[in-house]
Amino acid sequence: MKRRDFLGTAVVGATTLAGASHSADKSNGQEESLDNGFLKERVRLGQSDLKVTRVGLGTGMTGGMRRSNQIRIGEKNFRDLLRYAYDQGINYFDAADLYGTHRDIIPGLEGIPREEIVIVSKIWWGPGGIPEKERLLADALVERFLKELNTEYIDLLHLHCVTSKDWPKELAKQMDVMSKLKEEGKIRAHGVSVHSLEALEVAAEHPWVDAVHTRINPYEMAMDGPPEKVIPILKKMHENGKGVTGMKMIGEGRLRDDPEKKQESVNFVYGLGCVDTVIVGFESKEEVDDTLRMVGKALA
């Protein structure tokens, strides 16, 4: 199928779904309301033991040098946002050394049993990105991460932002160390956050990979390639038992103020059948509510 026809079909289908749901709401004489019942169900990330909600909270919007928009809204606001997301039903929280958000996760979720939440972190192994020039192995980094997170284990640890098709060879030592950390119980699963089409193809087949963070929306916004090339790889990845977490569903925030396109993207991503869950870099409680409402409509 040509790319133009592929996207046209996807968007028309998404619009029809959104319209039908909206009409059903009105036909019942009801205004749109926030129904988070779908978050009670947990989905398994691939063949791992991790069970997550269909929406997760990302903490790395415009992230780098241990800063992100979530850090910039202020400690109290950020921690309140984390708790609000959990209270709405979200149990999946995505952090990274690059974002500088480790120290806020547990305080924001104070009083919540550790086993009730799933925490992701990521190792920044490439140049730039973090203040230090040296790049330590995963064992030393995880010791620091555990102290910052104030926890005994990390649920999912990724190698952050892999782009080369040779990433398994280039990062073999880190992978070996991460496998050992998994055996020791310091991490429960490992994988990669992917930022290129060729790296994604390798991740879909590699036996070491438990789960992947991948960029997906119908508009090719901040993606690794056009949807018609990305989606077959995601389907293969899912069939191979890898957990698939979608990123950039809101186009890295670009769809935030376009409710029609945002709903179309939500419908599109959740309609693929090969994306287990999606993380969104929420910056306000209103954005949490708005996105959950749209996801609820798409899943309905």
Q: Burial letters for 75-84: b for 16+ Cβ neighbours within 10 Å, e otherwise?
A: eeebbebbbb
3-class secondary structure, 252: coil
- CATH class entry, domain 3-299: alpha beta
Task: Tell me how crowded residue 178 is: count the other CB atoms within 10 A of its CB.
Answer: 26
Which amino acid is located at 122 in the chain?
K
pLDDT tens-place string over residues 141-192: 999 999 999 999 999 999 999 999 999 999 999 999 999 999 999 999 999 9
pLDDT tens-place string over residues 252-273: 999 999 999 999 999 999 999 9
**Tokens standing for 90?**
């979200």
Q: Give the C-alpha separation, 136 to 128, whole Å.
A: 14
Task: Tell me how crowded residue 300 is: count the other CB atoms within 10 A of its CB.
Answer: 13
pLDDT confidence tier of residue 101, bands split at 50, 70 and 90 = very high
Quote the radius of gyration of the chain (alpha carbons, Å). 19
pLDDT confidence tier of residue 35, bands split at 50, 70 and 90 = confident
Q: Where are the domains of the chain?
A: 3-299
